[in-house]
Structure 1
């Protein structure tokens, strides 16, 4: 019984590590990277995640790269009069000891000029590199889903 339990644990360990939804660097943790499944003929898609800064100093997300798109831009939604507008931002501050949520209708990564649409289907993963001013590059795997994950972080984001 003990042997089979140890064998099962040994077999599950790589599976759990491969499906981790947190990516850590010194003071930063990037959790739950996801993107919604690409609708047919959609020219762009967005990626979302949460950045937790456990450190005493702020950091700044400067840029994002991915092989599935020619361009990856940092964007935010803002109200202009009665209209909600999406606009590009040059970088995003990550507060010390705080969280920054990239979510629909908030900050997000916009992927433009898509290259590999096969990775943008439900259940697939694609790589995304977040380039921070202090922490440097953080590589994550974005899970593509038909439906957004359970609500909870969607409307929170730091300014």
Structure 2
């Protein structure tokens, strides 16, 4: 199993749009989008965000994420995190979040990386703490059916021993 990552390309958009298999999955990935996800919705999000990244598994795109907030020397917030259903449970999400975290610390010189996860997203709730993310706030939200949800905000602070240097391009 060979994992690699790169910036998103136009050719990836339609494939990524097929990753969420239900309205609930799409809500976790992209709460403002409507199901099924249209290429134009994803393209608009990419245009407004930074560092949209895909993960390839043996040469095939299987995951996507970006930053919806990025502040040089401040914090970067990871959003639009999704893994293809066929690649779930294989370490792809871990790899993706690790790469985005490294990008935040090296390129943006962030002091912390943030991620938010809905209480019903069990995979995310189990993954993020394993990567060192700690909850710091809970916000009440509603899903598209009007049901109450908790959005759990987590952060990972740059370790004092981690070097602070720009990424080489």
Bigger strand fraction: 1
Bigger helix fraction: 2
Larger radius of gyration: 1
TM-score (norm 1): 0.30
Structure scoring higher RCO (CA < 8 A, sep ≥ 6) equals: 1
TM-score (norm 2): 0.28
